[in-house]
Each structure stands twice: as C-alpha cells, then as structure tokens.
Amino acid sequence: MNAIARDGTILCCDAGGVPFDEALARVLALAAGPLPPETVALAAAPGRTLATDIRAWLDMPRFDASAMDGYAVRTGDLMPGARLAIVGRTAAGEPPGTLAFGGAHRILTGAPLPAGADAVIAQENVACDGATIGIAAAPLPGANIRRRGEDIAGGQALIAAGTRLDWRHVAVLAGQGFPAVPVRRRPRVALLSTGRELREAGGRLSPGEIHDSNLPMLAALFAGWDAEVRTRPAVADDAAAISAALAEMAANVDLIVTTAGISVGDEDHVRDALSGLGGNLAVVKVAMKPGKPLAAGWLGDCRFIGLPGNPLAALAGAVAFVRPVLGRLSGSAMAEPLRARASFAMAHRPGRTEFVPVRVGQHEACVWVDRIGPDGSGRLSPLLRASGFACVPEWHGDVRWGEMLDVATFANVTDNSDG
Ligand code: AMP
Ligand code: MG
C-alpha cells in the first residue's frame, strides 16, 4: 500500500520504507502549529509549555535592602574610633526609615535601607553596648546592600515562549507576582493497543496471552511529555473492532497512537481499519531499526501514528516521531540530541537508521554511551538499564569505538555503575 498525502498525492514508498529523515518531515507536517493557549494557575504550570514571552513586571529586589543583620550607616559620617548612637530600627516587611545624621540604624536582613544610609555593617563586626556601636573598620559605600533591580530589572525579558516550565520558572514567576501563566493547551492523545493476545495487568492470562505493556509504557511516557492521555481497553485483531475504536477516539483527541497490527501480515488490520474510515496515511513504512512498520497520517481532523507492537520498536517510534509531534503541538522547541562517545563497536549496514538502546554515563569528563543489550525489539529488560537511543544514521557504516553519536534520551539515568 502506498502512502497518500492529505492533498491526495500518492507517495511512493520502496519495500524498505521511506528514509527516516523524510518520514520525520512527513510526520512533523501533521502538526503545523501549536495548539491554542490557555491560562493556568502557577501551581499547575510545571510540565506545561509557555505560550508567550514573559517580561519582568517588577524590579527585584523591589528596593535597596540590607543583605545582613547589622547597622545601616552613612560612610561619610564615620570617624576612626568614634562610636555611633543607635537611632532607629527597620525589620523586613517594615517601610523604610530615615537615618539620623551621625547615627547607626539597626537593620535586619531584607529590610529596606533607610534614606540617607549607603552601607550596612554586619552585627558581627561591631561592638554594641545597647545604645551605641563601635566600628573597627569602616565599610565601603554599598557594602551589604542588595540594590533595587540588581537581580531582575523590571521590563527585562525573563522566559521565552516555548519553554517547558518547571519549578525554577515557578520560583521566578511567583517572585514576580504572576498568579497564573499563559500556556499551550495540552495535546490530547488517545492510546489504543491492538492484539487478541493482550490482557491488562491484574487479569488472568490464558494460554497464549500476554500482558499489555505498551499501553501503560506509552501512557506514562506521553504524560511526561505534557500530553493529556486517554486510554481504552485493547481491541482484538479485527478490522471492524479497530475501526469502531478509532472512530470513537478520533472525535475527542488531537492524536491517536496505536500499537501493533500495523504491518501487512494476516493479523495486521490497523491500516485497513484506518482506510475503511477514510483515513490518509503519509507514511506506512520507515527505513529504521527497530520499528520499520510504522504508519502516520490523518483520520479526519485527528492525527494518527501507528507504532509497531514489539515494545522496543514501539518505544523507538514514540521517541522518534510522537515526541516531536507533541512538542510541535505544545509549541516547544525540539530538543537537541545529546552528543556522546560510543563505548562500543557495532556492525551497521547503510540503508536504514538504527536506534540502539544505550545508557548515558560520564567517564573522565566525557559523556559516553554504553550499549544496552541483548538485542531484540521484543525485549523489555533493556529498558531497566537504558536511558536513550543512540542514533546511527542511514548512510553510516560500522560504528567504531569512541565515535561521536547523537543520542535521544528518554530517561534521566546518568550514572557510572555497572547496574
Ligand atoms: P504485531 O505488531 O501485532 O505483529 O506485534 C509484534 C509483537 O509485539 C508481538 O509479539 C505482540 O504480541 C507484541 N505486542 C503487541 N502489542 C503489545 C503490547 N501492547 N504490549 C506488549 N507486547 C505487545
Ligand atoms: Mg499482532
């Protein structure tokens, strides 16, 4: 089956699948622009993508303030050996006072500097008798003062649109007094597992059946990529049942992701189900390993990505295609791949892009990737040790030890243990 673009163009695909870069371009074209913005309370902002550039509302600090518990003074008043009378007091939260001529003004950390003062002497550096202080060494003007706007100046650019917000942004935005922020609507993704052998965890397995691991894996993965994930029970390998599930899901989501049944075997019905509903596929097979049977296109106004059934192949398809589409929909920039040295050699024939499970680690100030085996797209155990896929491009020959590779990371495992 050739792929048909949305405009009806027949896209030829050779038996080995379209080159990976071409497939990615076609899949990215499914998400032309970001979803509309919405406003969320600051507490709900982590994980969301900022919809507009944010500028600072306020100078921070808001006012010249003391950085220490001590005494505010005017350096011009200080005479060697003289004692200064303590003539006022300001604590944090109080309005600024005025420094009386020739006096020392008791001040606490975070309090506004009294008018007329130009330095703060730390309390550890004075001899205080309760009414006066003696100063051993005069401070320089500006000592122990946090100047208004020295951290953030009102009006300055703070956070760029497209930034994935986290607790750091929450701290700055809260400090600036933003109660809420404009973010992109979360992409709504429906997940469907297909295969008559699949049972949910918790159920009893009859002979020949297996637990569905793809759906929980992808649901967790997509939620971590800021998607609002909807799931439904797996459907058997039956075109009518798959059609019914696809039609129901397409009405409510931005993207449908299926796993398995996407090739052309006797029990692969997803593509037929999709074409039966009038769907268009822009990709039906990709020159990649693992994961050659991978389809993407439209079902009405809903995007569709059909991933392979083998767990590592489904993951490779999700990392390579679903993540960039979700990024586009939420308006975030595509993450640059990590560059790391291969701690392995590997045979690779040009002709298809290969995604090799690896663990990123650091040895002697250099980022390396260890290959995580054994090979096999049906395996789950490599996931426990892998933190990304090293990408061996289609044109590439054998991978040599020490060579630099692009790595698409999918977990925060960066350690040196042999685990
Ligand atoms: P298929 O793409 O339908 O040929 O499936 C390829 C392999 O992946 C088969 O061994 C399936 O049993 C397995 N598989 C398919 N779907 C899942 C799933 N949701 N969870 C775990 N394994 C699956
Ligand atoms: Mg199957």
Read off the pLDDT of residues 164-185 as tens digits, 9 standing for 90 and up: 999 999 999 999 999 999 999 9
Ligand 1 pocket, residue 195 CB under 6 Å: yes
Give the number of other Cβ atoms within 10 Å of residue 306's Cβ.
Answer: 29
Ligand 1: atom nearest CA of 234 is: 19
Ligand 1 pocket, residue 332 CB under 6 Å: no
Q: Which ligand is nearest to the CA of 295?
A: 1
Pairing of strands 302-307, 210-211: unpaired
Ligand 1 pocket, residue 132 CB under 6 Å: no
Can you give the pLDDT at residue 13? Answer: 46
CA of 309 to the centre of ligand 1 (A): 4
**Hey, what amino acid is at 372?**
I
Ligand 1: atom nearest CA of 261 is: 3
Closest CA to 283 of 63, 7, 8, 12: 12
Ligand 1 pocket, residue 259 CB under 6 Å: yes
Query: Among all chains, which residue has been given the structure tokens 């309005």?
Result: 95
Q: Which ligand is nearest to the CA of 231?
A: 1
User: Alpha-carbon distance 30 to 52, whole Å?
Assistant: 23
CA of 388 to the centre of ligand 2 (A): 26
Give the number of other Cβ atoms within 10 Å of residue 165's Cβ.
Answer: 22
| Residue 238 backbone zone (phi > 0: left; psi -120 to 50: alpha; other: beta) | beta
CA of 207 to the centre of ligand 2 (A): 16
CA of 354 to the centre of ligand 2 (A): 23
Low-confidence ranges of the chain (pLDDT < 50): 1, 12-13, 416-419
Ligand 1: atom nearest CA of 260 is: 2
Can you give the pLDDT at residue 416? Answer: 47
Structure-block tokens of residue 212: 């569905």
CA of 1 to the centre of ligand 2 (A): 19
Query: Which of 199, 210, 213, 231 to mutate to test ligand 1, by most ligand atoms within 8 A of the CB atom?
Result: 210
Can you give the pLDDT at residue 77? Answer: 87
Can you give the pLDDT at residue 335? Answer: 83
Can you give the pLDDT at residue 42? Answer: 98
Can you give the pLDDT at residue 334? Answer: 81
CA of 338 to the centre of ligand 2 (A): 34
Can you give the pLDDT at residue 395? Answer: 97
Q: 158, 54 in Cβ contact below 8 A?
A: yes
Contacts of 200 (CB under 8 A, 6+ apart): 211, 212, 233, 234
CA of 213 to the centre of ligand 1 (A): 9
Ligand 1 pocket, residue 258 CB under 6 Å: no
- Please tell me the residue having the least CA distance from ligand 1 atom 16: 309
